[in-house]
Structure 1
Amino acid sequence: MARVEILSPKQKINELITKILLFKEFEPEEPRMPISNIRFEDARRNLGEVNEHINKLKILMELGGLIIEPQGKMKINDWFDASNLVFEESSTIENKYKDLLEEIGKLRGELDTLNSQIKEVEPFKDIGIDLKILYSSSTFEVALAILDSNQKKEIENKEILVVSEPLENNKYACLLIGKKNSKLDELMKELGIRKFETPDLIAPQIYYNNLKQRIDEILVILTQKREELSKKIKEDEKNIKEIYGKLLTIRDAMNILSKARSSDYYVQVEGYVPEKSLKKLSKSLDNIAFLTYEYPKRYGEEEEPPTYVKLPKSIAPLESVIEFYGTPSYWEISPTVFLIITFPFLFGLMFPDFGNALILLLFSIWFYNYGKKRGSENTIKLSLVLVYSSIVAMVTGLLAREFFGPLPVGGLRELLNNPSAPVGPLYYIWPIPESVYQQISDIIPTGANAIINTILLSLLLGSVLLFVSTLLGVINAIKKKDKEYLLLDRLPLFIIYIVPLIVFTYGFTNISNYQGQEATLLGGISYFLFHSGSPAPLNVQILADILVVWVEIGLIYNWAAKAYLLKKHEHASIGSAIVFGFIEGGFEAALLLLSNTISFIRVLVFAIAHYYILYAFSYMAYLAAGNPTSLLSVFINPAGIVILIIGNLLAIALEGLIVFIQDMRLHFYEMFSKFYEGRGRKFEPVMSYIELTQ
Structure 2
Amino acid sequence: MSAALESVLEATMGSLFRSEEMTLCQLFLQSEAAYACVSELGELGLVQFRDLNPDVNAFQRKFVNEVRRCDEMERKLRYLEKEIKKDGIPMLDTGENPEAPQPREMIDLEATFEKLENELREVNQNAEALKRNFLELTELKHILRKTQVFFDEMADPSREEEQVTLLGEEGLRAGGQALKLGFVAGVILRERIPAFERMLWRACRGNVFLRQAEIETPLEDPSTGDQVFKSVFIIFFQGDQLKTRVKKICEGFRATLYPCPEAPADRREMAMGVMTRIEDLNTVLGQTQDHRHRVLVAAAKNIKNWFIKVRKIKAIYHTLNLFNLDVTQKCLIAECWVPVLDIETIQQALRRGTERSGSSVPPILNRMETFEDPPTYNRTNKFTKGFQALIDAYGVASYREMNPAPYTIITFPFLFAVMFGDLGHGMLMFAFAAWMVLKEKPLAAQKTDNEIWNIFFGGRYIIFLMGLFSMYTGLIYNDVFSKSLNLFGSHWEIRNLTSKDVLDNGVLPINPTWDYVGHPYPFGMDPIWQLAENKIIFLNSYKMKISIIFGIIHMLFGVVVGLFNHLYFKRRLNIICEFIPQILFLIFLFFYMTILMFIKWIKYAAPHPINNPDVTTSSFCAPSVLITFINMVLFKSPEEKDTEGTKKNPCDPWMYGGQNGLQMLLVLVALLCIPWMLFAKPFMMMQERKKKHMQDLNTHNTENGDLDGSGAVQAQGQVQGGHKEEEEDMAEVMIHQGIHTIEYVLGSVSHTASYLRLWALSLAHAQLSEVLWNMVLRNGLTQGGGLGGIILWALFAFWATMTVAILVLMEGLSAFLHTLRLHWVEFQSKFYLGQGYSFTPFSFEILLETAQATSEAAD
Q: TM-score, normalised by structure 1?
A: 0.62
- Which residue pairs with 2:98 in the alignment? 74
Q: Which residue of structure 1 lines up, in the alignment, with residue 559 of structure 2?
A: 470
For 1:60 and 1:554, locate their aligned partners in 2 and report how far apart those are by CA, in whole Å.
73
Q: Is the 8 A contact 2:475 2:524 kept in 1?
A: no
1: CA distance, partners of 2:423 / 2:91: 32
1:505-525 alpha-carbon deviations (Å, 9 max, x no partner): 566679845999996876654
Asked if 1:456 corresponds to 2:545, the answer is: yes
| 1:272 aligned partner | 337
CA drift at 1:543? 3.3
Aligned residue in 2 for 1:617: 772
Partner of 2:367: 294
1:210 — aligned with what?
none
Closer/same/farther in 2, CA of residues 617 and 277 from structure 1, 3 Å limit: same
Q: 2:594: which partner in 1? A: 504
The answer as to whether partners of 1:79 and 1:253 remain within 8 angstroms in 2 is no
CA offsets per residue over residues 356-390 of structure 1, 9 Å max, x none? 23443565567984884239776643344333323
Where 1:25 maps in the other structure, the secondary structure is coil
Maintained 8 Å contact 1:249/1:689: no
- Structure 1 residues 408 and 271: CA distance shift in structure 2, 3 A: same
Distance change in 2, residues 1:626/1:559 (3 Å): same
The total of aligned residue pairs comes to 543
Q: Which residue of 2 aligns with 1:146?
A: none
Name the counterpart of 1:550.
669
2:466 to 381, 389, 398: 389
Task: Note if contact 2:396-2:834 (Cα within 8 Å) is conserved in structure 1.
Answer: yes
- Verify: 1:659 aligned to 2:659, yes or no: no
**Which residue of 1 is the match for residue 386 of structure 2?**
317
- Secondary structure at 2:822 match in 1: helix
CA distance in 2 between counterparts of 1:65 and 1:464 reads 60
CA 1:544 to 1:458, structure 2 compared with 1: closer, same or farther past 3 Å? same
What residue identity is the alignment partner of 1:28? F
1:667-686 to structure 2, matched below 5 A, reads 667-686=823-842
Deviation for aligned residue 1:342: 1.1
Cα separation, partners in 2 of 1:46 and 1:659, compared to 1, 3 Å: farther
Question: CA separation in 1, counterparts of 2:763 and 2:333?
Answer: 63
* Runs of at least 5 residues in structure 1 that lack an aligned partner in the other structure: 100-198, 203-220, 226-231, 424-434
Q: Secondary structure at the match of 2:524?
A: helix
- Structure 1 equivalent of residue 757 of structure 2: 602
How far residue 689 of structure 1 moved from its aligned partner, in angstroms, is 3.7
Equivalent-residue separation in structure 1 for 2:654 and 2:813 (angstroms): 45
Which residue is equivalent to 2:633? 529
In the alignment, residue 560 of structure 1 is paired with which amino acid?
F
The residue type equivalent to 1:256 in the other structure is T
Q: Structure 1 residue 659: deviation in Å?
A: 0.7
Structure 1 pair 56–494 and aligned structure 2 pair: CA distance change class (3 A): farther
In 2, Cα distance between equivalents of 1:350 and 1:362: 19
- Return the match for 2:745 from 590, 594, 609: 590
- 1:626-641 to structure 2, matched below 5 A, reads 637=792, 640-641=795-796
Helix, strand or coil at the partner of 1:462: helix
Q: 1:645 to 1:443 in 2, by over 3 A?
A: closer
Inter-CA distance 29–468: structure 2 relative to 1 (3 Å threshold): same
Q: Which amino acid aligns with 1:278?
A: I
CA distance in 1, matches of 2:70, 2:571: 40
Structure 2 letter corresponding to 1:451: N
Cα–Cα, structure 1 residues 509 and 527, in superposed 2: closer, same or farther, change >3 Å?
closer
Q: CA deviation at 1:619?
A: 0.9
Instruction: Say which SS state the counterpart of residue 259 (structure 1) adopts.
Output: coil
Contact persistence 1:8–1:268 (CA under 8 A) = yes
Residue in structure 1 matched with residue 256 of structure 2 by the alignment = none
Check if 1:27 corresponds to 2:48.
Answer: yes
Structure 2 residue runs of 5 or longer lacking an equivalent are 1-21, 125-194, 199-223, 229-294, 355-361, 491-498, 507-518, 606-616, 639-652, 686-723, 849-859
Q: 2:448 matched to which residue of 1? A: 373
Q: Which one-letter code corresponds to 1:550 in the other structure?
A: V
What amino acid does structure 1 have at the position aligned with 2:525? S
Secondary structure (helix, strand or coil) at the match of 2:523 reads helix
Deviates more, 1:245-254 or 1:442-451: 442-451
Q: What is the deviation of 1:596?
A: 0.6
1:440 to 519, 524, 532: 524
Tell me the secondary structure at the aligned position of residue 71 of structure 1. Answer: coil
| Residues 1:336 and 2:405 are matched in the alignment | yes
Paired letter, 1:591: L
Following the alignment from structure 1 to structure 2, what is the Cα–Cα distance between the partners of residues 73 and 346? 42
Alpha-carbon distance between aligned partners in 2 of 1:450 and 1:639, rounded to the nearest angstrom: 33
Report the counterpart of residue 348 of structure 2 in structure 1: 283
Shift of 1:495: 3.9
Q: Does 1:262 align with 2:325?
A: yes
**Deviation of residue 606 (structure 1)?**
1.4
Shift of 1:46: 6.7
1:107-118 correspondence to structure 2 within 5 Å: none
Aligned equivalents of 1:390 and 1:250: distance in 2? 45
Letter paired with 1:645: A
Kept in 2, the 8 Å contact 1:613–1:647? The answer is: no
Q: CA offsets, 1:514-547, max 9 Å, x none?
A: 9999968766543333415245533333332232
Letter in 1 for 2:834: G
Whole-angstrom CA distance in 1 between matches of 2:296 and 2:481: 43
> Residue 677 of structure 1: CA displacement?
1.6
Cα distance change of structure 1 residues 526 and 641 upon mapping to structure 2, 3 Å threshold: same
Aligned to 1:8: 29
Cα 1:240–1:502, aligned 2, differ >3 Å: closer, same or farther?
A: farther
Which sits farther off after the overlay, 47-56 or 632-641?
47-56
Q: Deviations along 1:589-640, whole A, 9 cap, x unmatched?
A: 433211211211211221221111010111112563485699x969953564
CA distance in 2, matches of 1:17, 1:657: 44
Note if contact 1:90-1:243 (Cα within 8 Å) is conserved in structure 2: no
SS at match of 1:323: helix
CA contact (8 A) 1:53 1:87 kept: no
SS of the aligned residue for 1:277 comes to: helix
Range that drifts further, 604-613 or 396-405 = 396-405
Supply the AA of the counterpart residue of 1:324.
A
2:412 is the alignment partner of 1:350: no
Q: 1:474 corresponds to which letter in structure 2?
A: L
Task: Please tell me whether the aligned partners of residues 98 and 309 of structure 2 are also in contact (alpha carbons under 8 angstroms).
Answer: yes
Q: 1:487/1:660 Cα in 2 relative to 1: closer, same or farther (>3 Å)? A: same
Q: Which amino acid aligns with 2:367?
A: E
Could you say which residue in structure 2 is the equivalent of 1:305?
374
Is the CA contact 2:623–2:654 (under 8 Å) kept in the aligned structure 1?
no
Rounded to whole Å, the distance in 2 between the matches of 1:224 and 1:487 is 80
Confirm or deny: 8 A CA contact 1:71 1:242 kept in the other structure.
no
The Cα of 1:334 is off from its aligned counterpart by 1.4
Are the counterparts in 2 of residues 256 and 269 from structure 1 also a CA contact under 8 Å? no
- Percent identity over the alignment is 19
Q: Retained in 1: the 8 A contact 2:25–2:338?
A: yes
In 1, are the aligned partners of 2:478 and 2:484 still within 8 Å (CA)? Answer: no
User: 5 Å matches for 1:77-476?
Assistant: 78-79=102-103, 81-82=105-106, 85=109, 239-263=302-326, 264-286=329-351, 288=354, 289-294=362-367, 301=371, 303-361=372-430, 369=443, 372-374=447-449, 380-406=457-483, 439-441=523-525, 449-476=538-565
Alignment partner of 1:352: what SS? coil
